[in-house]
Amino acid sequence: MPENPGMSRRKLIGLGAATVAATALPDALFRLSSAAAATGPTEGIGYFARFGVTEKMLRDGLSAALSRGADYADLFFQHRVGNSLALEDGEVNRAYASVELGVGVRAVKGDQTGYAYTEDLTPEALVQAAKTAAAIADGPAKPGPKGLKADTSLPSRYPVKTRWEDVRPQQKLPLLSGLNEKVFAADKRITKVNVFFGDEAGAILIADSTGRVVEDLQPMTRLGLSCVAEQDGKKETNGYNVAGRADLGYYSPDRLERIVKEAVSRTVILFEAVQPPAGEMPVVLGAGASGILLHEAIGHGMEADFNRKGISIFADRIGKPVANKFVNIVDEGTIAGARGAINVDDEGNPVGKTMLVENGILTTYLHDSISAKHYKVKPTGNGRRESYAYAPVPRMRATYMLPGPHKKDEIVASVKKGIYCTNFTNGQVQIGAGDFTFYVKNGYLIEDGKLTTPIKDVNIIGNGPKVLEKIDMVADDLVIDEGGWTCGKDGQSVPVSQGIPTVRVASITVGGRGKQA
């Protein structure tokens, strides 16, 4: 699944061959050095006390950020330890680890943002960065917060029994080796297997100029399995991957079995697969990963920064009908253990459930603090960032469609000539024109209401609002996909989830090159 770097700024990719560093630790691998001269806990500072972060440091940093007259400022501290292991040619013979430690300072004046960051967590370096960010404004200093108040109301959407930093590599190795053996045992045509296992122990602390201080511990794990099969001199490759904010217990026997079964079946079926014809036709999207449609067709266009600037195709459409009345589309961060779950967003705002489309009516944009202020609404908890090196912008979390009135079988049976899509690698959208694509890795032709020949490697292209209108059947079988989706926007990547019930799009362009039926 190669993803192309390109210039595109809003795209969604599946867990490809990313060699992103991440990994595990024997007893206390990659924890903190003893250098962490904590001065005792102060308001809201738990985890980060070990780095010498104090209440005074937060107040001084915020005051410096407001020293040129910004309306608002925040500090975003982050410590993220990533570990990954990879299996190739039968052995777990490579490990990658990364430690990210830094703090970003944002100063906001109106809708203008000054941003700076440093990896040096000393009071001096923080004040220096804060003064750099402060220069977005050019006026008399505003006072910093009088006192700091810890926000202790956070939910617990990803509790873990054991933090990843306490898991030894020896505990993870059998997972990879076991999958390798099972895949080879599952089908004689398999010739190569690659397994990637990644985990993260992340911690963030946000302090803002209203005095709010909030900390969150954010675990993540991903596992990807990719295989190559050979038959009659032909080769095919495919795979399966899963991700969630969870601990080692995530890898239940059921889940591991599913990973093997899906990876193998998705690969070997490609020997029979053909290209669908080119052109417009009805497309049925299978429950689960087809949520990529929502991410591209509407999700990005509903991010309020694009609407605040008037450049989204959905700008000025709030309150208007955009789809059939049985279409309900949600973005939420509350699904326990999901890759797109968060207890708090990266601006410190609470995270709930946001209705993008309710009974076919366009309802709510996805907001960060800046856009919420612009629209005079409460932030929706969508202010997210890749790391301390970036200012937050409105981003999706878990985007999906609620169940509808139809049945899957009824939907497939309704199509005379079309395709049914199940697996995807990536998608992309143009915010203003509304055109979007997603790349189908597996699916079937539908002929006379029945699934027939498998299909592969075909891109689908449509226009967001037009396609929403053309969703004319929605089944009752909602699935939130368990895949390791990563969303890219403005050069920042964040983890997301997506889901959908089986739906029918009455007509959309399929970029095939097969024979016209």
Partner 1 sequence: MAQQDMLAAAHAAVKSALGKGAQEASARTYRVREVEVKWRDGSLEKVHEATTRGLGLTLYVDGRYSNVSTSDLRPEALETFIGDSVTLTRALAKDPFRTLPDPKLYEGQAKVDLLLEDPKYATVTPEMRRAVAKEIEAAARSVQGAKSILSVTTGFSDTLAESWRVSSNGFSGSRRDTQFWVSAEVSVKDPDGRKPEDYAFGGSRFVGEMPKAGEIGRDAAARALSRLGAKKGESAVLTMAVENRAAGRLPAYLLGPLSGGALQQKRSFLEGKLGQAIASPALTLVDDPLVPKGFGSRLFDGEGIAAKRMPIVEAGVLKSYFIDTYYGKKLQMAPTTGGPSNVVWTLGDKDQAALLAAMKEGILVTGFLGGNSNGLTGDFSLGVQGFRVRGGRIAEPVGEMNISGNHLEFWKKLAAVGNDPYPYSSMKTPTLVFEGVQFAGT
> Considering the complex, what minimum distance in angstroms separates the CB of residue 320 from partner 1?
11
Residues between 7 and 36 that touch partner 1 (CB under 8 A): 7-8, 11, 21, 23-26, 28-30, 32-35
Q: Between 305 and 332, name the residue whose CB sits nearer to partner 1.
A: 305
Q: Between 6 and 147, name the residue whose CB sits nearer to partner 1.
A: 6
> How many chain residues touch partner 1 (CB under 8 A)?
102
> Considering the complex, what minimum distance in angstroms separates the CB of residue 444 from partner 1?
17
Tell me, residue by residue from 392 to 411, as one string, x for binding to partner 1 by CB under 8 A and - for no binding: --------------------
Structural tokens at position 425 = 């690698």
Q: Which stretch binds partner 1 (CB under 8 A): 40-48, 353-361, 402-410, 509-517?
A: 509-517
148 binds partner 1 (CB under 8 A): no
Q: Can you tell me the distance from the alpha carbon of 107 to that of 116, in angstroms, rounded to the nearest whole number?
A: 9
Tell me, residue by residue from 454 to 493, as one string, x for binding to partner 1 by CB under 8 A and - for no binding: --xxxxxxxx-x----------------------------
Are residues 396 and 295 in contact, defined by beta-carbon separation less than 8 angstroms?
yes
> Considering the complex, what minimum distance in angstroms separates the CB of residue 413 from partner 1?
26
Strand duo 417-429 + 435-447: pairing: antiparallel
Strand partners, 332: 353, 398
Residues between 423 and 452 that touch partner 1 (CB under 8 A): 425-439
389 binds partner 1 (CB under 8 A): yes
Of the candidates 24, 22, 18, the one whose C-alpha atom is nearest the C-alpha of residue 172 is 24
Residue of 129, 220, 225, 283 that binds partner 1 (CB under 8 A): 129
Q: Can you tell me the distance from the alpha carbon of 491 to that of 436, in angstroms, rounded to the nearest whole number?
A: 18
Helix (H, G, I), strand (E, B) or coil at 100: strand
156 binds partner 1 (CB under 8 A): no
Q: Can you tell me the distance from the alpha carbon of 32 to that of 80, in angstroms, rounded to the nearest whole number?
A: 11
Residues between 313 and 342 that touch partner 1 (CB under 8 A): 313, 315
Helix (H, G, I), strand (E, B) or coil at 71: coil
257 binds partner 1 (CB under 8 A): no
> Considering the complex, what minimum distance in angstroms separates the CB of residue 335 from partner 1?
26
Q: Between 100 and 410, name the residue whose CB sits nearer to partner 1.
A: 100
Cα 7 to Cα 1, 317, 329: the distances in Å are 18, 28, 29
Q: Between 230 and 476, name the residue whose CB sits nearer to partner 1.
A: 230
Residue of 56, 159, 181, 311 that binds partner 1 (CB under 8 A): 311
Residues between 89 and 108 that touch partner 1 (CB under 8 A): 91-102
Q: Which stretch binds partner 1 (CB under 8 A): 154-162, 249-257, 309-317, 394-402?
A: 309-317
Q: Can you tell me the distance from the alpha carbon of 441 to that of 426, in angstroms, rounded to the nearest whole number?
A: 9
Strand partners, 384: 393
Q: Over 106-148, what HEC string results? A: EEEECCEEEEEEECCCCHHHHHHHHHHHHCCCCCCCCCCCCCC
Four-point Cα dihedral 485, 486, 487, 490, nearest 10: -170
278 binds partner 1 (CB under 8 A): yes
Are residues 445 and 452 in contact, defined by beta-carbon separation less than 8 angstroms?
yes
Q: Which stretch binds partner 1 (CB under 8 A): 312-320, 378-386, 409-417, 471-479?
A: 312-320
